[in-house]
Amino acid sequence: MSSNKTTTKKELTAADKMELVAKAEAYTDGLVKKAHQAALQFEGYTQVQVDKIVAAMALAASEHSLELAHEAHNETGRGIVEDKDTKNRFASESVYNSIKNDKTVGVISENKVAGSVEIAAPLGVLAGIVPTTNPTSTTIFKSLLSAKTRNAIVFAFHPQAQRCSSHAARIVYEAALKAGAPENFIQWVEDPSLYNTTALIQNTGIASILATGGPGMVNAALKSGNPSLGVGAGNGAVFVDATANVDRAVEDLLLSKRFDNGMICATENSAVIAEEIYDEFLEKLQEHGAYKVPKEDYEAIEKFVFVERAGEGYGVTGPVAERPGPWIAEQAGVKVPEGKDVLLFELDQENIGEALSSEKLSPLLSLYKSTSRENGKEIVQKLLAYQGAGHNAAIQIGAQDDPFVKEYADAIGAARILVNQPDSIGGVGDIYTDAMRPSLTLGTGSWGKNSISHNLSTYDLLNIKTVARRRNRPQWVRLPKEIYYENNSISYLQEMPDVKRAFVVTDHGMLQFGFVDHMLEQLAVRETQVQTAIYGSVKPDPTLSQAIEIARQMNDFKPDTVIALGGGSPLDAAKIGRLIYE
């Protein structure tokens, strides 16, 4: 039965708002205090205990993966069940396998050469913001990382995904408790509201915020007064080089755009195609299920899909994200042929900043024609500079070791440059590349106003203590340019250049048996007289104090030549004495 009655929303007074804020602060403060108790208890766990808990959580999440995917799809009405199942398995299995051997308790590294030891400590209590687009997978991901690093976490789920998100949290939490985890180390806001979420992220007991969501929520987290690890807007683009394998590039691009209806923030929103292969590429896109939207329909789709946001360009309207392409077109009054699911829009690079050049969060794709490699770089960089700075870019090219790949990466302001792979699935790591850790929080660096430019993982949720042992700096010894030794070497004193003042270091035996006199005879035959001074009391085991005395006498005499006469003791004493003197 339907009703024709309409209800008007009561406008809140300032007093009403203050009361709601106070209630939210009291409620979330209670959650944070419980989390602090759990975090204190968790801090005493060993690595073995932690690893047992994380393994149990990952297994439970994996076992319920498909169930949670159905729940997320049913509650939000977004995405594709099979792809949500893949994301849940990625969050539970791929992420688990990447972190299971991480050392996150106690001593995590030791460098005996440098004299350093690194010791891991948890951050404390985390606030976890979860979006409606990837609700269950994000909950699993953040829960695993929190447990692995001995942090407690309090979640604030998107109101449109509260049931499925809280179910995912409950599954991993109950598995963790059975494995010995502290009570209340995972909690969530039961009544989702902007007031509760705001109170949570602004609570002074929060050590860090893991913010995943729309630009508004991420910006609110960054301005909360607490440290925040968030993500920036995505508007990734792929440059398809003239040397690219066209069939593979088309397959990768369509796979990326179709995966969960193009929802992952790393997904390509634009393809910049070399003019030499543009027509072939466009034709093959259409052969494989893409639809080139007539230009006269652009405006209708733009009006339905996008809304202008002050200072941020255009963003998709709430109902659009993660919806099928034909549904979006139908809502805009545009008819799409049956069997076509990715909508193509041919745009002019001179108009970057228009609505269709923005992030789409759906199976909509903009196409640009580049006249050269240099022009391709410029278009991709312009797209990222307009929206999506620091996020993702990709390139399809014939040879992965082509020098242009590095040139392209150097010119693009993106934290991840994916080569010959679908950007959406490649960007999260593990599946197409081992170069990045599996993650559902992709840092965008200073380009995107983020604290990190890599894929978030365990190391980001730890305080690292560095123990630095004292190390004396290595010293260097400057020896004379030339040293003469072996039998009859003293005869060279007759012709050795620049000998005017010679200091002799020897022992009583050398003096007593006339060896010093024999050496002085070599100096006597020189054309100019050589001034000499003799230290003749080196002991069989010379001491440092003796070397210091030799240096003192050298300093008084100012020799240009040092002569050590005798065995090892006079030689050693002369070397150290000269070193100190110089």
Which residues carry out catalysis?
265
Long-range Cβ pairs for the range 99-102 (8 Å, 24+): 99/54, 99/144, 99/145, 99/148, 99/457, 99/458, 100/51, 100/54, 100/55, 102/148, 102/457, 102/458, 102/459
CA 432 vs CA 92, 95, 481, 519: distances in Å:
17, 14, 59, 78
C-alpha angle 30/456/203, rounded to 5°? 20
Q: What is the dihedral of CA 349, 355, 358, 363, to 10 degrees?
A: -100
Which residue in 153, 144, 188, 151 sits closest to 170, CA to CA?
188
- 272 — phi, psi (to 5°)? -105, 115
**What SS3 class is residue 271?**
strand
Q: Distance between CA atoms of 88 and 72, rounded to whole angstroms?
A: 11
Q: Distance between CA atoms of 423 and 274, rounded to whole angstroms?
A: 18
Q: Distance between CA atoms of 185 and 174, rounded to whole angstroms?
A: 11
Residue 30 tokens read as 């209670």
Q: Dmax over Cα atoms in the chain, in whole Å?
A: 129
Contact 580, 551 (CB under 8 A): yes
CA 259 vs CA 20, 113, 288: distances in Å:
40, 48, 15
Contact 105, 46 (CB under 8 A): yes
Residue 260 tokens read as 């969960």
**What ranges make up the beta strands (E) of 180-325?**
186-188, 208-211, 228-230, 237-240, 270-274, 290-292, 306-309, 313-316
Which residue in 322, 305, 318 sits closest to 264, CA to CA?
322
Residue type, 446: S
Q: Distance between CA atoms of 329 and 335, rounded to whole angstroms?
A: 6
Residue 404 tokens read as 């242009």
Contact 441, 459 (CB under 8 A): no
Contact 352, 386 (CB under 8 A): yes
Residue 405 tokens read as 């790949």
Q: Distance between CA atoms of 450 and 502, rounded to whole angstroms?
A: 68
C-alpha angle 343/447/83, rounded to 5°? 40
Q: What is the DSSP string of 296-309?
A: GGHHHHHHHHEEEE
Element (H, E) at 81: helix 81-89
Residue type, 515: F
Contact 348, 369 (CB under 8 A): no
